[in-house]
Structure 1
Amino acid sequence: MDTVGIIGAMELEIKLLKEKMYIERKETIAGFNYYIGRIEEKNVIVTCCGVGKVNAASCTQALIDNFNVDCIVNTGIAGGLYSEVKICDVVISKDVTYHDVDKRQMKNCFPFKEYFEGNEKLIELAIKACKQYKHNNYKYHIGRIVSGESFISNSEMKKSIIEEYSPYCVEMEGAAIGHVSYINNIPFVVIRCISDNADDEANINYNDFEKISAEHSANIVFNMMKIID
């Protein structure tokens, strides 16, 4: 792959990658900053899309339109949902969807997809990168990731999302990035490290683990750049 697009929602989620990157230049499009350069001699475009689905979709489309990326990797943090997913574990997207959009709308309106599947080769690459990442008390999982326009910190809402979608984690951008990647025929994968359990204690755990989890996810993406074709 000639050029990889890497998207984080917050500056915290791309900080480590920018530090490890040789930045040739920066371009600003529609308010989004795109850092063009290399990581481990791989051509990359690293950007911060901001929080939420509209920001993520807008940033992803501009990335595709202006930089001719061959694939997209979304890195960041998320709330754990699946019982076996613990704080600081990593979830690799088998597929992504929205937990706040009616399934009938997804099926019956363009692009007529209930879920957007992660690219198999990128998933395999992420698994290899996870296996190379040496860290205590850390596991990786492959499963569904769901996105919506709210930070989930309510046990009843968490239960409802689990019952409806059977996801491994929840966040606010991945499905929009997958959606835009799909309609542009660009391979993608979402990689998220768990910062909280999306329950009544989520705000406390998030504050404690936000930085640690963001760096775990970024390190795995860095490992991907070391071994990607």
Structure 2
Amino acid sequence: MRIGIIGPSKNEIMSFIEKLSDKEVSSFAMLDFYRGSYNSIDVVALYSGVCKVNASIATQILIDRFNVTHMIVVGVAGGIDRRLNIGDTIISTELAYHDVDDGILTEYHPWMKNIYFNADSYLINLCRKIQSSKLVTQNIYFGRIVTGEAFISDFGRGHIINKYNPLCVDMESASIAHVCYVNNIPFLAIRTISDTENESGTEVFEKNCVSASINSINVLEKILEII
């Protein structure tokens, strides 16, 4: 088993990378890949850069160059479901794009039956064990994540809720799931809420990015300790 771990930004992943033992760094496509071990699990981790294309580049390199067997993305997300508070962690069950026409996925490669990518059931079940055993202190929710390269306005929020009814929105997870789908690689997204409808804006995001990311990394570390 070798797990690829992606954080979109340095703030979202570097505190985990610093804990890896026996680190080796390789560079491809202007990205630095850190291979090492955590709890004797072989991992390759990096920060990919934000948005879909950057995340997709990193994902395919992890598969082609490092032969990862599983893929996990960690980081922050904007809360859509009104139950969510800053610091709550979302575990993906299924993922979709909110800014890609449905037919792109169903009428062209990869000719999907619907627009949703499923997260890996084994990794989801590990997170359920973490939740039930109270191995982390934050609230954990399981559900749908949608991805797009836009900051969500009130109008956009209504459209996303009506069509997708997700728990949260981010800028990378569905694209990573897309690459994993066509390569048959098990995938999971772990995203912690950094901003909500009531607490939004650049200042809120910047204030909460590091602390929210730590919550996602805590879940990741527990996975690696029980997998």
What is the TM-score normalised by the length of structure 1?
0.93
For residue 81 of structure 1, what is the aligned residue in structure 2? Answer: 80
2:136–2:218 contact (8 Å) kept in structure 1: no
Q: Match of 1:57?
A: 56
CA contact (8 A) 1:88 1:193 kept: yes
2: CA distance, partners of 1:15 / 1:69? 19
Q: Could you say what the CA RMSD is over the residues aligned between the two structures, in angstroms?
A: 1.4
Alignment of 1:1-229 (within 5 A): 2-113=1-112, 114-130=115-131, 131-135=133-137, 138-152=138-152, 154-198=153-197, 201-228=200-227
The SS at the match of 1:20 is: coil
Which secondary structure does the structure 2 equivalent of 1:85 belong to? coil
Q: Which runs of 5+ in 2 are unaligned?
A: none
SS, match of residue 100 in structure 1: coil
1:12 match: secondary structure: helix
Matched residue count: 224
Q: CA deviation at 1:181?
A: 0.3
How far has the Cα of 1:128 moved from its partner? 2.4
Q: Which amino acid letter does the alignment assign opposite residue 126 of structure 1?
A: C
Deviations 1:99-135 (A, max 9, x none): 0011222221111231110000011112223444332
Distance in 1, Cα, partners of 2:2 & 2:55? 19
For 1:31, give the aligned amino acid: M
Shift of 1:49: 0.9
Secondary structure of 1:162's counterpart equals helix
Q: Report the CA distance shift for 1:115/1:151 in structure 2 as closer, same or farther (over 3 A).
A: same
The share of aligned pairs that are identical, in percent, is 36
Q: Deviations over 1:117-162 (max 9, x none)?
A: 0000011112223444332xx211111101111232x222112111
Distance in 1, Cα, partners of 2:140 & 2:48: 25
Letter in 1 for 2:90: V
**TM-score scaled to structure 2, two decimals?**
0.94
Secondary structure of 1:178's counterpart equals helix
